[in-house]
């Protein structure tokens, strides 16, 4: 499952997408909007994506993780649009026969998403300033 959506992400739905009877481990990672960034109060984030390219890259990463760690399944969801403190911005779920593979794959996936998926975020600070950044910068 791959999802790039302006709608709220339900981490339970993402995790349910990878459940399988042969899975001994399901690991999830849920990224949320934090209230401070670099010591500055954050009021919101705004995510924009190059939609088609982002979906293609998310699918490529999904397939790479499945192959590298012999995963049973993998689901990736990322929000776009304006998000407020506490909202889910990204959710990853992986299922595997054993926990080590599931943990390693989930950790690799969040780092890989930040490095290669064309998604940018704008930090909106309490002082009224904003700053656009790409995850990889």
pLDDT for residue 51: 96
- The answer to whether the pTM exceeds 0.85 is yes
Helix (H, G, I), strand (E, B) or coil at 34: coil
pLDDT for residue 50: 95
Any residues with CB less than 8 A from the CB of 14 and at least 6 apart, and which?
Answer: 1, 3, 28, 75, 76, 77, 91, 92, 93
How does residue 134 score in pLDDT terms, banded at 50, 70 and 90?
low
17-47 tens-digit pLDDT: 999 999 999 999 999 999 998 899 999 999 9
40-92 tens-digit pLDDT: 999 999 999 999 999 999 999 999 999 999 999 999 999 999 999 999 999 99
> Are 45 and 124 within 8 A, CB to CB?
yes
Q: Residue 137: is its pLDDT beyond 50?
A: no
For residue 39, how many other CB atoms are within 10 A of its CB? 5
101-121 tens-digit pLDDT: 999 999 999 999 999 999 999
Domain boundaries, the chain: 2-134
| Cα gap 121→127, rounded to integer Å | 18
How does residue 133 score in pLDDT terms, banded at 50, 70 and 90?
confident
Q: Residue 136: is its pLDDT beyond 90?
A: no
Fold (topology level) of 2-134? Aldehyde Oxidoreductase; domain 3 (3.90.1170)
pLDDT for residue 124: 97
């Amino acid at each position: 499952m791959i999802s790039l959506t302006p709608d709220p992400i339900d981490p339970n739905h993402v995790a349910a997408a990878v459940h399988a009877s042969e899975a001994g481990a399901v690991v999830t990672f849920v990224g949320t909007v934090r209230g401070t960034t670099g010591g500055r109060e954050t009021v919101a984030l705004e995510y924009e994506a190059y939609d088609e390219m982002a979906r293609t890259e998310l699918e490529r990463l999904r397939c790479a993780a499945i192959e590298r760690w012999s995963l049973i399944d993998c689901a990736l969801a990322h929000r776009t649009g304006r998000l407020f403190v506490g909202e889910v911005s990204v959710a990853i779920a992986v299922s595997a026969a054993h926990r080590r593979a599931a943990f390693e794959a989930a950790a690799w996936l969040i780092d890989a998403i930040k490095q290669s998926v064309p998604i940018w975020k704008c930090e909106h600070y309490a002082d009224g300033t904003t700053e656009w950044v790409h995850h990889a910068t």
